[in-house]
Amino acid sequence: MLGRDLPWRFRILVDDAADHDRGSRQPNRVSLAPAKPRHVLLRRTRSARVRPGIMRRLLTPTVVCLWLALACQNPSAKPASEHLTVFAASSLTEAFAELGEAFARKEHSLPPKFAVAGSQSLRLQIEQGAQADVFASANGDHMSALASSGIIAQPEIFAYNELVLIVPKDNPASIREFEDLPRARRLVVGTPAVPIGMYTRELLRRAEHTFGRAFASSVRKHVVSEESNVRLVRAKVEMGEADAAIVYRTDATDRVQTIEIPASLNVRAGYQIGLVGSEPTGLAKRWMLFISSPAGRTILARHGFATP
């Protein structure tokens, strides 16, 4: 028959692979193909490929799961949206900047945002609804006003400062000690509303009892400017626009000469700090604890503050 009549150089090839690849249900085809003796002919089939769209659908859930797993491995990281806003008296500028950097390293958080100005200005902003987590004032009067209205609860003293007399480097009025203050023809002080102004007036009242009314009267009539914060008071001396000024010890720099005030006359300024609002954040509470910690007190002392 057909199979017996075929020459030896022909054989039957069953095309199963091709039919299966095409999904065909047709019966196997018989084809005649030349073949070499003792060799088997192999038909090449297409290799399996994954389409790009399918690959992306497979990989995307995997990538998301890996990202979530890595994020969960660092539970101490704070969300980027968690900020701490601190309102602070201008005399705390450098000390709080260093405290903020140390606190951020400890908490693995963003550094606090600071608003520095005269304490009376900051108090007014808070009363008008400014967003603040913590308020640090250079005296207790402004803090007491906020506490009495329920805006701040349980303020506490965290640092102390004191007053010094500063004069320009060339000292045009030849002031050598505090008793020489009447020689100043241009004296700059703080306004009555700011803590440095309040403390200066208390100092002059004490000096009047010690040196007499003429001393105090001469000093007061030579006041040529009243500034809204202690940094502006110091700036007048640095720029040569004043013969003398009264500032905090922590604000006396190497750009001016510093003259000590007798301890019997000096005024000790107590700095108070408190949480703003009825629902303080955990970060704000930890800032309060850090300020009074050994590390916080060391930084304050480095900037010239005394601590409780």
Number of domains, the chain: 2
79 found inside a domain: no
**Each residue's pLDDT tens digit, 263-273:** 999 999 999 99
Q: Indicate the pLDDT class of residue 299, thresholds 50, 70 and 90.
A: very high
Domain contains 97: yes
- Residue 96 forms part of a structural domain: yes
| 139 and 209 together in one domain | yes
Q: Give yes or no: residues 21 and 149 share one domain.
A: no
Give yes or no for a contact between 131 and 81, defined as CB atoms under 8 angstroms apart: no
pLDDT band at 52 (very low <50, low <70, confident <90, very high): low
Residues 149 and 242 in one domain: yes
pTM recorded for the entire structure? 0.71
Bigger pLDDT: 38 vs 99: 99
Domain boundary among 28, 45, 70: 70
The reply to whether 76 falls in a domain is: no
Give tens-digit pLDDT for 113-160: 999 999 999 999 999 999 999 999 999 999 999 999 999 988 999 999
How much is the average pLDDT of 276-304? 96
Q: What's the CATH code of the domain at 148?
A: 3.40.190.290
Task: Say yes or no: 200 and 101 in one domain.
Answer: yes
> Are 202 and 295 contained in the same domain?
yes
pLDDT > 90: percent of the chain: 71
Establish if 307 belongs to a structural domain: no
Same domain assignment for residues 98 and 58: no
Give residue 10's domain range.
1-70
Whether 78 is covered by a domain: the verdict is: no
Residues 63 and 104 in one domain: no
Same domain, 136 and 47: no
The whole-angstrom separation of Cα 107 and Cα 105 is 6
**Residue 23 included in any domain:** yes
Q: If you average pLDDT over every residue of the chain, what do you get?
A: 82
Among 70, 98, 113, the domain-final residue is: 70
**Sign of torsion, CA 260 88 195 149?**
negative
Name which of 71-85, 127-141, 238-252 the model is least confident about.
Answer: 71-85
Q: What would the mean pLDDT of 46-54 be, rounded to a whole number? A: 48
- Looking at the fold, whether 144 and 101 belong to one and the same domain comes out as yes
CA 68, CA 135: separation in Å to the nearest integer? 38
Residues 15 and 137 in one domain: no
Residue 75 covered by a domain: no
Q: Do 181 and 292 lie in a common domain?
A: yes
90/198 same-domain check = yes
Query: Residue 175 is encoded by which pair of tokens?
Result: 């002031």
Q: Could you give the residue ranges of the DSSP H alpha helices within the chain? A: 2-5, 16-21, 52-72, 93-107, 119-127, 140-148, 195-211, 213-221, 230-238, 282-291, 294-302
Average pLDDT over residues 280-303: 96
